[in-house]
Amino acid sequence: MENDLKVLLEIGDKVVAEDIQRILEESNIYSILDSDNPASSVLNIYSGLNAIENLAIRVNNNDYLKAIEAIRKSHYKDLLTEA
């Protein structure tokens, strides 16, 4: 399954990542957030603090170009590094 997914963006701000995920959802594109800090959810629950983490927004290979277009139409277009 991991080979079916492609990284759309990598970002360190969870709020922005979740907003981008919402934009993708509105375009009927399924995405997942993959954190490099597996303890981040637990830290947030018990301490209320957001852990320092990098998030990768992953989409299905078949939806990748559609996802790029959805982000290009949003105010997050500057975050795209792809041409």
The tens digit of pLDDT for each residue in 44-67 reads 545 555 556 789 999 999 999 999
Strand partners, 58: 7, 32
Q: What is the pLDDT of residue 83?
A: 45
Helix (H, G, I), strand (E, B) or coil at 69: helix
Q: Domains of the chain: which residue ranges?
A: 2-78
Topology at the third CATH level for domain 2-78: Alpha-Beta Plaits (3.30.70)
Q: What is the pLDDT of residue 20?
A: 96
Q: Give the C-alpha separation, 56 to 50, whole Å.
A: 16
Straight-line distance from the first to the last Cα atom of the chain, in angstroms, rounded to the nearest whole number: 26
